[in-house]
Amino acid sequence: LESVELTRAVAWAYSVRVSSPTGVRVDEVKLLARLLESKDEWTVTSSLQGIASRAESDPAGILKTLLNINIGRSRRIADEFFSVLQNSKAFPIESFDREQVKELLSKLAGCSTIEDYWVANFLAKVSKPFPAEVLHFLIDRIEAANEGEIHEFQPIPYLFHEDSKFR
């Protein structure tokens, strides 16, 4: 779709459509997966809500789709992404293995900040079963900040949310 407004409208409409309890066609889920690749963050966040509603019916497939999203490009997308992961019964923190956690952290590496609630909450939760991975992630962010690789980059949170306790 060429028009940002039209793409946003389609993303919103399909996010509502696939959230309905009626059957969803495979092509509708594929369209949402395509919308998740959009350069427009509003389109991506709307599509995330829709795809998340399908997680319990196909956790492995939806996780594969979610892992294709470039979450590091936008703090808003990253926060919505981790909100979806943590609010879905299909993705308990305990279900992630070391490689999946590393992949998620690597996708988050370029995000300008990791201070937003759902991102910080995810980091705190995975720091318990995977402390070394989270520590390396934070060290890599500090080193990237020292090298000045990313403009307006905040390597670690200045503010920790009350329920975001790191190990």
Distance separating alpha carbons of residues 59 and 159, to the nearest angstrom: 32
pTM for the model: 0.86
Which one has a higher pLDDT value, 88 or 161? 88
Long-range contacts, stretch 26-29, CB < 8 angstroms, 24+ apart: 29/54, 29/65
Q: Which of 18-22, 23-27, 143-147 has the lowest mean pLDDT?
A: 18-22
Does position 22 have pLDDT exceeding 70, yes or no?
Answer: no
Q: How far apart are the first and last CA of the chain?
A: 45
Q: Count H helices, E strands: the chain?
A: 8, 0
Distance separating alpha carbons of residues 141 and 45, to the nearest angstrom: 24
| Residues 6 or more apart in contact with residue 133 via CB below 8 angstroms | 98, 101, 102, 105, 126
- Helical axes 131-147 vs 98-108, angle rounded to 10°: 20
| Sequence letter at residue 96 | F
Distance separating alpha carbons of residues 109 and 30, to the nearest angstrom: 27
Could you tell me what percent of the chain has a pLDDT over 70?
87
Q: Residue 149 — pLDDT band, cuts 50, 70, 90?
A: low
Average model confidence (pLDDT) across the chain: 85
pLDDT, one tens digit per residue, over 29-66 is: 788 888 888 999 999 998 888 877 777 878 888 888 88
